[in-house]
Structure 1
């Protein structure tokens, strides 16, 4: 017997009760709530539609095209379920179940970054060559490069750009790391903030200075030209349509060349893309 008034439906509940729903063995109100969750949650909607189509195939009454039809029938059945189960009562629960459904759906999704890290690295020579160079430069193979390795062309392209701008660039190492940590901080990439924060510590920048710099670039102890380049990179990441030309003019006044300005923006661009790549896939720092 289900507690229809208080039970918060989630993906696990729908998965457990899907058979009963399809067999018509739940009450009208329960059916309405299950169908509402299914309507909100794409993962559960596909699961139940496939379950219905599979059941019909096994019973000899369906075909492979029935999955799409089942999906449409599930969606169109919601209004009827609302009528049968007491529409106002069910509608009052929709907002609560919608948030729960989204949370549960995300919780049931496997972390793609972690899964890709478990994949074997291709043994192609071009992949191995890049990874050898990365290890020589960084001291280890960062997790996101191991994920890049699943797409050899992407691995080569990302390393070529990083090698040209970060490894072989003209900006001081400390400045490149400072750009990386500020961009990552502003983009909310904790992985990169911790990784580059450790590099700055290893380069002799104390933690208090790093924290002050996150709040105010000019509060750091870098030379004026480098702080001006930090401002250019940070503002470009935050708002490229803002007062970028003004910031660039100030950097030039502080002694920065066009090449240094381009490289500061290149470092910003690289780490902005890495931030988004890492956070989207959920790649862990320690792997």
Structure 2
């Protein structure tokens, strides 16, 4: 974090420290978001509990979740989330170029009409939330998304608009490891 002091792992409450240690063990490095958001342990707990609920109880595919995150993060100019979730998208989709395409302009990516409708909605909710109306939701349903999937799409988009803004204010930078993950090199 460039604008706030990142707390030392040893100084954190046990549950926060244990979560960071678990994430470090699983990834092979400590993703900077965990260290940065530990700045306020009560917020860390709520942030990651909601994150886990979004991921663990999703009616859309994990690759679609990552597509939404990369698209929203690109719109919001959030370097951390574009790079970190770009890596996850490459891993979950098996399509190394897709993350780069979505980060710059989802309309230029090779997508199904269903997924294009999903990302068009994500763009609308991110840039012009006041313009989200019955027709915008109906477009998702017409593209084949169930009500639960529409809800999950909106939840991911809203959550990552929050995350992007926090990462930007904190000047959070991506770990070097994220740049090469999932590129097949």
Q: Which residue of 1 aligns with 2:41?
A: 152
CA deviation map 1:241-280 (0-9, x unaligned)? 1144322101101111111111111111221111111111
Q: Which residue of 1 aligns with 2:142?
A: 253
The Cα shift of 1:155 comes to 0.9
The Cα shift of 1:233 comes to 1.7
RCO higher in structure (CA 8 A, sep ≥6): 2
Helix, strand or coil: the match of 1:284?
A: coil
Q: Which residue of 1 aligns with 2:66?
A: 177
Separation (CA, whole Å) in 1 of partners of 2:101 and 2:15: 42
Aligned CA-pair RMSD: 2.6
The Cα shift of 1:185 comes to 0.7
Q: Which residue of 1 aligns with 2:95?
A: 205
TM-score (norm 2): 0.79
The Cα shift of 1:212 comes to 4.1
Residues 264 and 140 (structure 1 numbering): CA distance in 2 closer, same or farther, change over 3 Å? farther
Residues 244 and 230 (structure 1 numbering): CA distance in 2 closer, same or farther, change over 3 Å? farther
Q: Determine whether 1:120 maps to 2:16.
A: no
CA deviation map 1:210-231 (0-9, x unaligned)? 4444565455344433332222
Q: Which residue of 1 aligns with 2:167?
A: 278
Identify unmatched segments of 5+ residues in structure 1.
Answer: 1-109
CA deviation map 1:34-73 (0-9, x unaligned)? xxxxxxxxxxxxxxxxxxxxxxxxxxxxxxxxxxxxxxxx
Residues paired across the two proteins, number: 174
Identify unmatched segments of 5+ residues in structure 2.
Answer: 177-185
